[in-house]
Amino acid sequence: MSSVIVDPGVDVPVPARGEVWAVGAVILNQRGEAFAQRRSADRRLFPGAWDIVGGHVEPGETLLEALAREVTEETGWRLCRVRTLLGVTAWTGDDGGGLRHEADYLVEVDGDLDRPALEWSKHSAYDWFGPADLHRLTENRSPGELLIHDLIARVVHGLPEPGA
């Protein structure tokens, strides 16, 4: 973790006792497209939906430790820079897991972006999404489940400030 650069002003929440947290990473390539992977059809939570890299914070982990672990587990890449906190949301999934808090970040990684090492037991595909591809991010999502679409849309359109 010591080799990860965290840009000035990036907020890293500290979970309160008993809270369940997840982290997410929006990763861009040189063309400004965002990485997403399709969740396997047999997943309990959001089956078949496009998702950013991320997952649950394990007991004893900080949010940044979880972010680094998830990037490596899900892609084989190494987290090297945390640029921006894109937002903190609270949501309840369709898996009975209750309320979760999620902190999503725009990050930079080291590794071959053309060859992610996906967890094929959990994901069935990956792709890079630019402005013309954003509609695909709503596939297999219920109306109103636009967190992933909205995060990626904000980043590929140049990161307007929240609420702008």
Tell me the per-residue pLDDT of 65-112, one tens digit each, with 9 for 90 and over.
Answer: 999 999 999 999 999 999 999 999 998 876 677 789 999 999 999 999
CATH number at residue 103: 3.90.79.10
Give the pLDDT confidence score for residue 91 in this predicted structure.
83
> 81 in a domain, yes or no?
yes
Give the pLDDT confidence score for residue 164 in this predicted structure.
43
Residue ranges making up the domain that contains 141: 5-9+18-156
> 163 in a domain, yes or no?
no
> 34 in a domain, yes or no?
yes
Whole-angstrom Cα distance, residue 62 to residue 26? 18
Query: In this structure, are residues 148 and 137 in contact, taking their beta carbons and an 8 Å threshold?
Result: yes
> 161 in a domain, yes or no?
no
Tally of structural domains, the chain: 1
Whole-angstrom Cα distance, residue 118 to residue 38? 10
Whole-angstrom Cα distance, residue 18 to residue 140? 31
Q: What is the pTM for the complete model shown?
A: 0.90
One-letter amino acid at 148 equals I
Whole-angstrom Cα distance, residue 99 to residue 86? 20
Alpha helix (H) ranges present in the chain?
63-75, 147-156
Whole-angstrom Cα distance, residue 38 to residue 14? 29
> 126 in a domain, yes or no?
yes
| Average pLDDT of the residues of the chain | 90
